[in-house]
Amino acid sequence: MLDRHLRPLIDRTLAGVARLSARAGVKPDALTAAGLGLGLLAALSVAFGWFWPALLLFAASRLMDGLDGAVARLSPAGPLGGYLDIMADFAIYAALPLGFAAFDPESNALPAAFLLAAFFVNGASFLGFAVLAEKRGLESRANGEKAHYHATGLIEGSETIAFFLAVCLWPAGFAWLALLFALLVLATAAWRVRAAAVLFRDQEH
């Protein structure tokens, strides 16, 4: 929901760093790999109860995630970079709930499982929408230039980042925040399925 409003600000903020990185020969895939590594370290830190390091590592990971796309847009790039980018995002967003479950299984295991299930359903709705849109030649720049069709929704990248930052700052609230966030994620998936039914059924006729 917030991505389309924050994206222009993020792009302007990262533009200078992206140009310097590109001139230095830094490849987008290397930034994606760095972001993945930092995100997984954040999840490991959560599992050990090191929440401030986890917060900083996660923030740095998301910075790499924004920077890899900014660098990629400065030079011709194939579809592999976009594929690796979304795979890294999914891996990080799967690892962090596991970290909270490992830290306090009694309180967090069930909410973490519910959140992961919601992420799974939402990911299917997102990627399925992108596949159908690609087959029909549809494009969207609502959230900036992407390697795939990016269907908008109530919960997107900005909200997910805000959620994980919040639970790193207030780990005792993970269980209730995870349950609430999972419901919002499922609402996003339901909205996207409805949007797909309307859009692609109209195209069939």
Q: What domains sit in the chain, N to C, each tagged with a CATH number? A: 3-204 (1.20.120.1760)
pLDDT tens track for 104-133? 999 999 999 999 999 999 999 888 877 777
Q: What is the pTM of this model?
A: 0.84
Statement: residue 143 has pLDDT above 50: no
Cα(57)–Cα(136) distance, integer angstroms: 39
Statement: residue 38 has pLDDT above 90: yes
Beta strands in the chain (DSSP E): none
Cα(29)–Cα(32) distance, integer angstroms: 5
Statement: residue 138 has pLDDT above 70: no
